[in-house]
């Protein structure tokens, strides 16, 4: 059975989703992207304000990921009990309240605690948004997940770029975060009437906790690889362009910018592409294109070709995670809301563990070798993906 086709074609037992529910889901993906990316430009200011070294900063940054990992598995239970609307509104408010603390923390303990709470709130918001999106896509009877993730990627560009632009224009970090917090609250409140008041109704009568197994673990592993690849570009592409291709540090961020723009465009146009070619084709070809992009970036004889490599990574990977979330929502091994929470938790450990793993490989060999190993992992996604979609 092709779960992507089944997930898109299935009709909910209660009603088909309407346009307002779909727009509400897009608004929440935009909020997640804005809030998540807003932290990135604040990192240098937080480091200077707390007067910590790079090693301590690395440990403090783990608190954000650990907060998310702790909260994510619980979100499916909360959504089932209280409904997506309640969880989305509560977590949006929590994100909006804690984000300014990241610009105010003046000591390492306060910063670490603030990051952990921010990570937990953001992780809850992320999972609850994915749960709503799976149900809305299912109810709509058509492919929508790539478009949803396109809005998330757009939010990331607006969050990081907006905060940077505000601070460049003279805003203090605190004032810039207040603008983002205000935007998150506005998006949540504007969407409150069309957010789903229930969780996964197919989970009624199911146990509160179901340990992930079989296909859910495999989906999570494939997401882990995709998030690892995305994290590698985010954390290491600038350094790679400086070391391997001699790019000026002032413009070394072009590698990630190229990747992010390609991924956003790929996702915003992805629903039609998935409908035309099918999830299996997109997963296999996309994984191989992304793997080829890493290989090109490593072996490119000139800088422009290396940037083309990062563009291929973004285009190839853009629609794979949305397809996998559709699969997770359509499988029958465990309730969809709990499966989404499990897949997100497993997947996001790629972002948590990835930077350290890549750094370890780079320390033993070099950064190019580490990126080539990610290309091999993406080839595994291409090999294992079709079996996942048909199970």
| CATH assignment of the domain containing 274 | 1.20.1250.20
Q: Please indicate, yes or no, whether residues 182 and 285 belong to a single structural domain of this protein.
A: no
Residue 252 domain-assigned (yes or no): yes
230 contact partners, CB below 8 Å, separation of at least 6 = 263, 317, 351
DSSP 146-201: HHHHHHHHHHHHHHHHHHHHHHHTT--HHHHHHHHHHHHHHHHHHHGGGS-SS--G
Residue 215 resides in a domain: yes
Q: What gap in Å lies between CA 324 and CA 342, rounded to an integer?
A: 12
Length of the chain in terms of residues written = 391
**Tokens 């003279």 -> residue:** 170
Which pLDDT belongs to residue 362? 81
Q: How much of the chain is in helix, strand and coil states, percent to nearest 5?
A: 85, 0, 15
| Nearest Cα to Cα of residue 157 among 306, 77, 268, 49 | 268
Distance CA 309, CA 245 (A): 13
126/247 same-domain check:
no
**How far is residue 7's CA from residue 339's CA, in Å, rounded to a whole number?**
14
**What CA–CA distance (Å, rounded) separates 203 from 331?**
13
Same domain, 155 and 302: no
Report residue 78 CA to chain centroid gap: 20
Tokens of 338: 């709990």
Radius of gyration of the chain (CA): 20
Of 200, 234, 260, the residue that ends a domain is: 200
Contacts of 277 by beta carbon, 8 Å cutoff, 6+ apart: none
How far, rounded to the nearest angstrom, does the alpha carbon of residue 352 sit from its chain's CA centroid?
Answer: 12
Going residue by residue through the chain, which has 391 residues, state the pLDDT in tens, using 9 for 90 and above. 344 444 444 434 344 557 889 999 999 999 999 998 888 788 778 888 888 876 677 788 788 888 988 898 889 888 888 999 999 999 999 999 999 999 999 999 999 999 999 999 999 999 999 999 988 988 888 889 999 999 998 998 888 888 888 988 889 999 999 999 999 999 999 999 999 988 765 555 555 555 667 788 999 999 999 999 988 887 778 778 888 888 777 566 678 878 888 999 999 999 999 989 999 999 999 999 999 999 999 999 999 999 999 999 999 999 999 999 988 888 877 888 888 888 988 888 887 777 778 878 887 888 899 999 999 999 999 999 887 776 5
CA-closest candidate to residue 295, choices 383, 385, 377: 377
3-class DSSP assignment, residue 10: coil
- 205 within some domain: no
CA dihedral 128, 150, 333, 276 (to 10 degrees): 150
Helix segments in the chain, DSSP class H: 3-9, 19-38, 43-50, 54-82, 84-102, 108-140, 145-168, 173-191, 215-245, 254-268, 270-277, 279-299, 303-317, 320-330, 336-364, 367-390
Quote the pLDDT of residue 3: 43
Using the 3D structure, point to which of 140, 171, 200 is the last residue of a domain. Answer: 200
- The encoded tokens of residue 243 equal 């070391």
The residues, any chain, with a CB within 8 Å of residue 337's CB and separated by 6 or more, are 76, 79, 80, 131, 199, 200, 203
Residues 224/354, Cβ–Cβ less than 8 Å? no
In angstroms, the first-to-last Cα distance of the chain is: 6
Residue 93 forms part of a structural domain: yes
For residue 325, the surrounding DSSP H or E stretch is: helix 320-330
Same domain assignment for residues 171 and 225: no
Shared domain for 388 and 241, answered yes or no, is: yes
Distance of CA 283 to the CA centre of its chain: 17
User: What is the pTM for the complete model shown?
Assistant: 0.78
Structure confidence at residue 319 (pLDDT): 94
| Residue 346 within any structural domain of the chain | yes
Nearest Cα neighbor of 162 from 351, 33, 259, 311 is 33
194/231 same-domain check: no
Residue 343 lies in a domain: yes
31 touches 183 (CB < 8 A): yes
Domain tally for the chain?
Answer: 2
Are 147 and 263 within one domain? no
The reply to whether 243 and 388 lie within a common domain is: yes
Supply the pLDDT for residue 4. Answer: 45
Rounded to whole angstroms, the Cα distance separating 333 from 6 reads 15
In this structure, are residues 222 and 321 in contact, taking their beta carbons and an 8 Å threshold? Answer: no
Two structure tokens written together for 89: 């509104």
- Note whether 72 and 98 are same-domain residues: yes
Tell me, yes or no, whether 365 lies in a domain.
yes
Together in a domain, 113 and 217: no
Residue 243 within any structural domain of the chain: yes
Give the separation between CA 113 and CA 319, rounded to whole angstroms.
34
245 and 369 assigned to the same domain: yes
Structural domain ending residue among the three candidates 200, 229, 252? 200
Cβ-in-10-Å burial (0-12, 13-18, 19+) of 94 comes to middle
Cα separation, 263 vs 317, whole angstroms: 7
Domain limits for position 139 = 1-200
């Amino acid at each position: 059975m092709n779960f992507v086709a089944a997930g898109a074609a299935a009709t909910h037992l209660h009603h088909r989703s309407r346009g307002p529910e779909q727009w509400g889901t897009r608004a929440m993906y935009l909020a997640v992207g804005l809030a998540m990316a807003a932290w990135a430009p604040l990192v240098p200011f937080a480091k200077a304000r707390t007067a910590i070294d790079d090693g301590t900063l690395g440990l403090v940054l783990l608190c954000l990921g650990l907060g998310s990992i702790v909260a994510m598995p619980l979100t499916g239970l909360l959504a089932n009990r209280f409904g997506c609307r309640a969880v989305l509104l509560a977590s949006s408010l929590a994100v909006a309240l804690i984000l300014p603390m990241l610009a105010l923390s003046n000591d390492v303990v306060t910063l670490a605690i603030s990051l952990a709470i921010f990570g937990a709130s953001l992780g809850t918001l992320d999972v609850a948004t994915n749960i709503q999106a799976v149900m809305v896509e299912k109810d709509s009877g058509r492919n929508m997940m790539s478009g949803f993730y396109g809005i998330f990627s757009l939010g990331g560009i607006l969050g990081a770029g907006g905060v940077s632009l505000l601070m460049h224009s003279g805003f203090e970090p605190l004032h810039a975060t207040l603008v983002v917090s205000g935007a998150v609250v506005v998006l949540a409140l504007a969407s409150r009437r069309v957010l789903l008041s229930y969780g996964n109704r197919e989970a009624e009568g199911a146990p509160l906790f179901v340990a992930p197994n079989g296909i859910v673990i495999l989906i999570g592993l494939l997401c882990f690889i995709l998030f690892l690849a995305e994290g590698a570009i985010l954390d290491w592409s600038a350094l790679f362009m400086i070391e391997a291709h001699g790019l000026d540090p002032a413009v070394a961020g072009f590698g990630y910018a190229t990747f992010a723009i390609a991924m956003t465009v790929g996702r915003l146009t992805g629903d039609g592409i998935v409908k035309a070619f099918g999830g299996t084709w997109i997963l296999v070809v996309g994984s191989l294109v992304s793997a080829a992009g890493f290989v090109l970036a490593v072996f490119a004889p000139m800088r422009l070709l290396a940037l083309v490599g990062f563009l291929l990574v973004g285009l190839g990977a853009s629609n794979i995670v949305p397809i996998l979330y559709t699969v997770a929502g359509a499988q029958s091994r465990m309730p969809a809301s709990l499966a989404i929470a499990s897949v997100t938790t497993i997947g996001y450990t790629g972002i948590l563990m990835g930077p350290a793993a890549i750094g370890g490989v780079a320390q033993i060999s070099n950064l190019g070798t580490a990126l080539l190993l990610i290309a091999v992992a993406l080839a595994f996604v291409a090999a294992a993906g079709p079996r996942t979609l048909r199970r």
